[in-house]
Amino acid sequence: MSFVSKVFSKTALLVGSVAILAGSLVSAQSMIQNCKPGYVAITYDDGPNIYTSELVKLLDSNGVKATFFINGDNFLQLNDSVIAQEALKDAYNSGHQIASHTWSHQNLDEIDGSKFDSEIVKLEQIVQQFVGKRPAYIRPPYGAASETTVKKLNDKGYQVIEWSTDTKDYESHNTETEIEHVKGSFTKANLDNGFIILAHDVYEQTTTDLTKALIKYIKGEGFKFCTVAECVGQPAYK
């Protein structure tokens, strides 16, 4: 091999290695949006709430395990609310996944240092207090997470989750409208994909009519249900 050929070969190898490394970094610093093919994970944000325990019963009666991205201080305060505490334990004891949505629903891109750490650690501590484990999954409030924020969360041992499908249950509280959002998302995607659905257990209509409609539609499309941890294939807890 000539000197020029050797130089070209080494340069190409270096460029290729850099590209692979860059690709890995982007992947590591991106939020996870989709489930594994053929599966759907229903997720609920902002609880636990007064409707959560009844929602758990509904899910259980249909053989569905969901993922709850919880706050410590949002609609209810986990420190003080027995209802919230019991709902958290009900969900965990029924085999649903408990994940972090931060302590008080702060935009993680807008805080740093001790404030950032407190949002993560305080939620970990209270989950540990009531279920004996610390979550390994987090959904940043508002779905807001820059690459820097995602890396910080990855470094703290978290899988960072967004969603593929938004029910927009915070807008209409109308089941037909919300299911149309879901159908639209599924139609635009390859149905061989998997989906992570965003909903909120702080709305009564979501925890009753919408959840029933979601289960019926998803089963009708031939998908199986799973938790987000099962989507990703990594442990739910640290």
Question: Which of 161, 167, 126 is CA-nearest to residue 143?
Answer: 161
Do 11 and 81 lie in one domain? The reply is: no
Q: Say if residue 63 is in the same domain as residue 180.
A: yes
In this predicted structure, the answer to whether residue 4 has a pLDDT above a threshold of 50 is no
| Residue 26 and residue 52 share a domain | no
Is residue 17 domain-shared with residue 36, that is, in the same domain?
Answer: no
Q: Would you state the structure tokens that stand for residue 100, as one six-digit string?
A: 């972090």
237 within a domain of the structure (yes/no)? no
Structural domain total, the chain: 2
105 and 222, same domain (yes or no): yes
Tens of pLDDT, residues 142-189? 999 999 999 999 999 999 999 999 999 999 899 999 999 999 999 877
Whether residue 105 lies in the annotated active site: no
List 45, 46, 166, 201, catalytic entry? 45
In a 13 Å sphere around the CA of 191, the CA atoms on its Cβ side amount to 11
- Which pLDDT score, from 0 to 100, does residue 187 have? 84
Active site residue 200: yes
Q: Which residues pair with 224 in a beta bridge?
A: 39
Indicate the pTM of the whole model.
Answer: 0.88
**Structural domain for 228, as ranges:** 31-232
Structure tokens at 39: 């599966």
Task: Tell me which of 96, 101, 181, 200 is the catalytic residue.
Answer: 200
Looking at residues 184-213, what average pLDDT do you find?
Answer: 92
Query: 94-114: per-residue pLDDT in tens?
Result: 999 999 999 999 999 999 999
